[in-house]
Amino acid sequence: NAGVTQTPKFRVLKTGQSMTLLCAQDMNHEYMYWYRQDPGMGLRLIHYSVGEGTTAKGEVPDGYNVSRLKKQNFLLGLESAAPSQTSVYFCASSYGTGAGNQPQHFGDGTRLSIL
C-alpha cells in the first residue's frame, strides 16, 4: 500500500525551464491537492481537484498549471520556472466531503530548486 507517491523527490532547474511534478495515489480518493511549503510559512494551496477531469485554483496558483486526466494521478506543471518557485511541493489526497471528516494523506514531497 504505497499511499501517495511523488516523483521526482529532488530537482534543480534553471530559470525559464519547464517541468512536471507527478503525484499518484492508490487509495481511490476523489480529492487531490498540491501545496508548497516555504520556511516560516504554513503550507499553501496551489491547485486542487475534486474529481477526475476537474481542477480549481487555490491560494497561490500563478505560474502553475495542473491536470487530472486519471483519478489516481494529479500533475503539477511549471511552464517557465522562476527562483520564487524554489520550494518543497507536497501532494495530498482525501475522500470527498460525503465521507465526513477525513484526513488528508500527504506524499513525501518534491524538493525543487530554481537557479
Sequence-separated contacts (24+) of 103-106 with Cβ below 8 Å: 104/33, 105/3, 105/4, 105/25, 105/27, 105/29, 106/4
Q: Does 97 bind another protein (CB under 8 A)?
A: yes
Residue among 20, 67, 73, 104 that touches another protein (CB under 8 A): 104
Q: Which of 16, 70, 82, 108 binds another protein (CB under 8 A)?
A: 108
CB of 83: closest distance to another protein in angstroms?
A: 22
For 76, counting Cβ atoms within 10 Å of its Cβ (0-12 exposed, 13-18 middle, 19+ buried), the class is buried
Is position 98 an interface residue for another protein (rule: CB under 8 A)?
no
Taking CB under 8 A as the binding criterion, the range among 14-22, 38-46, 66-74, 77-85 that sits at the site for another protein is 38-46
Q: Interface with another protein includes 109 (CB under 8 A)?
A: yes
What nine digits make up the cell of 5? 507517491
The contacts of residue 104 (CB under 8 Å, 6+ apart) are: 33, 92, 93, 94
Chain residues in the site for another protein (CB under 8 A): 4, 31, 33, 40-45, 48, 50, 56, 90, 92, 97, 101-109
